[in-house]
C-alpha cells in the first residue's frame, strides 16, 4: 500500500483493498525529486511529517506497519521488493506537478518489468484519460455520493520490517520555515470539518471576501485536502448532511456556496490532468511572448518580501509568509498586482506562491495563476 497525498485511514480505497491480501505493508516515500522541486517548501514537508506521525500510530492500531523511506520511488520500491518480494502495489491516482507525473510513469514501467500489478484508485472527481467533458458533472456527483470506503477490523498478517524513526526537517537537509501552520493530521482535519459545517460556516458567503473574516469563516480544509488527511467525498457528504439537518436557512444557503467550491476543486484539477503543460505554458498560446522578456527582479523581490509600498498588497503577502494561508480574493489580488502592475510572468510568481501556500495543489494553483494573469483566453482580464 503506497501512501502518497492521501495521509488518512478513513475513506481510503487502496487501504480497504489491501485488507484482502494475506500479507500487507504500507510505505510512504520521501522523494529527493519532491524536496528539490522548485514548488516544494520545508513547510510542506513539515506538515507531511506531522501527518505521517499520526498516520503511523493509527495504522499500527489496525495492525499495519507504515514504513517511511527516503529515496527515489523506483529505487525504494526495488529495494523493498528485494526485502519482501511483493507482487501487488496499491495506491491512489495522483494529479500532481510534472515531477510526480514523470515518477508515476517510471513506476509504471518498473512494475511492468517486475510483473508487479499496480492498481490505482480514484480519490477525487478527476477522471483519467478523459476524451471530453460530457457527463463530467454527473460523474463527479456519483463519485461524491458513493459510500465511503471504511476499514473494518484489523490487518492480521502484516509483514514485519524494521521501522526506523521518522526523518526530521534537519535530517532531510531542510532549514526551519518559520511559519505558524495549521495543525496537521487526520484528527485535525475531521475537527476542522465538523466545526465548519456545524458552526463556523454560518456566515461563509460574506466572510470569505475579507482576509480578516475569512481566516475563521472559510473552512480552512485546503491543506487537509491537499495532503489527503480527509477525502473530498467525506467533506461533500458531511456538508450535504449538515444542509439537510440545519433548521437555519442562512446556514443551508452558506453551505450550498461552499459545496459548489468542492466541485471547482476537481474542475481545476481536471485541467492539469488533461493538459499537464499548463504548469509551464500559457493556456492561450497567443499570449506567448507577452511578459517573458520583461521580468524585473527588483519588483519581484519587493513583491515576495511584502515590500512594494502598497499597504494592502504587502499586508496580504506578509500574512501569507507568516501562516502559509490566504483567502481566495487576496490570492487573486496578489497575482493580479504581480501580473499587471508589475508585469511579472506568472511562472516565477507562481512558483514562489506554490512554496508559500501550505495547500499547494498544482491543478488548482496553475489554473488560477493563469486566470488571474489573463492568459487563459476564456475570461476577461481581471485587474
Ligand atoms: C492564484 C491562486 C492560487 C491558488 N492556489 C490554490 C492551491 O494551490 N490549492 C488550493 O487548494 N487552492 C488554491 N486556490 C484557491 C483558493 O484560494 C483556496 O482553495 C482557498 O483559499 C483555501 O481555503 P479554504 O479551504 O478555507 O477555502 P474554502 O472557501 O473553505 O473552500 C473549500 C475548498 O473548496 C476548494 N476551493 C475553494 N475555492 C476554490 C477555487 N477558486 N478553485 C478551486 N477550488 C477551490 C478548495 O479545495 C477549498 O479547500 C488558489 C487561488 C488563487 C487565486
Q: Which domains does the chain have, with CATH numbers?
A: 2-121 (3.40.50.620), 186-274 (1.25.40.80), 277-371 (1.10.579.10)
Per residue in 359-376, pLDDT (tens digit) is 999 999 999 999 999 999
Q: Distance from the CA of 85 to the center of ligand 1, in angstroms?
A: 41
Compute the CA torsion angle 131, 133, 138, 141 (nearest 10 deg).
90
CB-CB contact of 128 with 92 (8 Å): no
Distance of CA 101 to the CA centre of its chain: 14
* pLDDT score of 203 more than 80: yes
Give nearest CA residue, ligand 1 atom 17.
Answer: 328
* pLDDT score of 383 more than 90: no
Q: Residue 270 contacts by C-beta under 8 Å, 6 or more apart in sequence?
A: 95, 125, 126, 127, 130, 133, 136, 363
pLDDT of residue 165: 94
The model's confidence at residue 197, banded by pLDDT at 50, 70 and 90, is: very high
- Does the beta carbon of 221 lie inside 6 Å of ligand 1? yes
- Does the beta carbon of 254 lie inside 6 Å of ligand 1? no
Percent of the chain scoring above 70 in pLDDT: 100
In what order do the strands lie in the sheet containing 2-3? 2-3, 26-30, 66-70
Hey, what's the cell of 287? 499570449
Per residue in 48-105, pLDDT (tens digit) is 999 999 999 999 999 999 999 999 999 999 999 999 999 999 999 999 999 999 999 9
Per residue in 301-337, pLDDT (tens digit) is 999 999 999 999 999 999 999 999 999 999 999 999 9
CB-CB contact of 361 with 269 (8 Å): yes
The single residue listed with the C-alpha cell 471576501 is: 209
- Does the beta carbon of 335 lie inside 6 Å of ligand 1? yes
Q: Distance from the CA of 222 to the center of ligand 1, in angstroms?
A: 6
Give nearest CA residue, ligand 1 atom 5.
Answer: 365
Please state, in angstroms and as integers, the Cα–Cα distance from residue 201 to each residue in 193, 252, 257, following that order.
Answer: 10, 9, 10
Q: Residue 380 contacts by C-beta under 8 Å, 6 or more apart in sequence?
A: none
Mutate to test the pocket of ligand 1, among 217, 303, 328 (most ligand atoms within 8 A of CB): 328
Residue 324 Rama label (left phi>0; alpha psi -120 to 50; beta): left
pLDDT of residue 380: 75
The model's pTM: 0.98
* pLDDT score of 228 more than 90: yes
- Does the beta carbon of 360 lie inside 6 Å of ligand 1? yes
Residue 262 Rama label (left phi>0; alpha psi -120 to 50; beta): alpha
pLDDT of residue 161: 86
pLDDT of residue 378: 87
Quote the CA–CA distance of 362 and 360 in Å, as a whole number: 6
pLDDT of residue 168: 98
Looking only at Cα atoms, what is the longest distance across the chain?
63
Average pLDDT over residues 11-32: 96
The model's confidence at residue 379, banded by pLDDT at 50, 70 and 90, is: confident
- Does the beta carbon of 356 lie inside 6 Å of ligand 1? no
The model's confidence at residue 185, banded by pLDDT at 50, 70 and 90, is: very high
pLDDT of residue 30: 98
- Does the beta carbon of 333 lie inside 6 Å of ligand 1? no
- In 3-state terms, what secondary structure has residue 119? strand
Amino acid at each position: 500500500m503506497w501512501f502518497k497525498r492521501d495521509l488518512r485511514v478513513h475513506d481510503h480505497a487502496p487501504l480497504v483493498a489491501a485488507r484482502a491480501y494475506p500479507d500487507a505493508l504500507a510505505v510512504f516515500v520521501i522523494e529527493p525529486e519532491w524536496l528539490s522541486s522548485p514548488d516544494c517548501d520545508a513547510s510542506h514537508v513539515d506538515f507531511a511529517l506531522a501527518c505521517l506521525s499520526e498516520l503511523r500510530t493509527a495504522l499500527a492500531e489496525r495492525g499495519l506497519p507504515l514504513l517511511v523511506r527516503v529515496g527515489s520511488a523506483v529505487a525504494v520500491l526495488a529495494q523493498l521488493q528485494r526485502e519482501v518480494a511483493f507482487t501487488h502495489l496499491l495506491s491512489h491516482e495522483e494529479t500532481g506537478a510534472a515531477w510526480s507525473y514523470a515518477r508515476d510513469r517510471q513506476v509504471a514501467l518498473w512494475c511492468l518489468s517486475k510483473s508487479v500489478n499496480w492498481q490505482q484508485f480514484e480519490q477525487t472527481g478527476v477522471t483519467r484519460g478523459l476524451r471530453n467533458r460530457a457527463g463530467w458533472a454527473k460523474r463527479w456527483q456519483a463519485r461524491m455520493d458513493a459510500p465511503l470506503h471504511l476499514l473494518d477490523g484489523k490487518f492480521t498478517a502484516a509483514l514485519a520490517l524494521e521501522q526506523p524513526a521518522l526523518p526530521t526537517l534537519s535530517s532531510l537537509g531542510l532549514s526551519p520555515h518559520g511559519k505558524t501552520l495549521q495543525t496537521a493530521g487526520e484528527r485535525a482535519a475531521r475537527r476542522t470539518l465538523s466545526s465548519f459545517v456545524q458552526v463556523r460556516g454560518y456566515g461563509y458567503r460574506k466572510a470569505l471576501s475579507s482576509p480578516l473574516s475569512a481566516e475563521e469563516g472559510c473552512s480552512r480544509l485546503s491543506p487537509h485536502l491537499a495532503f489527503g488527511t480527509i477525502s473530498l467525498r467525506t467533506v461533500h457528504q458531511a456538508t450535504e448532511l449538515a444542509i439537510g439537518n440545519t433548521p437555519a436557512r442562512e446556514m443551508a444557503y452558506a453551505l450550498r456556496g461552499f459545496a459548489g467550491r468542492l466541485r471547482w476543486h476537481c474542475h481545476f484539477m481536471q485541467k492539469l490532468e488533461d493538459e499537464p503543460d499548463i504548469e509551464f505554458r500559457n493556456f492561450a498560446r497567443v499570449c506567448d511572448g507577452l511578459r517573458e522578456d520583461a521580468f524585473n527582479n527588483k519588483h519581484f523581490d519587493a513583491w515576495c518580501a511584502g515590500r512594494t509600498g502598497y499597504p494592502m498588497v504587502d499586508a496580504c503577502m506578509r500574512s501569507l509568509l507568516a501562516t502559509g494561508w490566504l483567502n481566495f480574493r487576496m490570492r487573486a489580488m496578489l497575482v493580479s498586482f504581480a501580473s499587471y502592475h508589475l508585469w511579472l510572468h506568472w511562472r516565477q510568481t507562481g512558483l514562489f506562491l506554490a512554496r508559500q501556500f501550505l495547500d499547494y495543489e498544482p491543478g488548482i494553483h496553475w489554473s488560477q495563476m493563469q486566470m488571474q494573469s489573463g492568459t487563459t483566453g476564456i475570461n476577461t482580464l481581471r485587474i
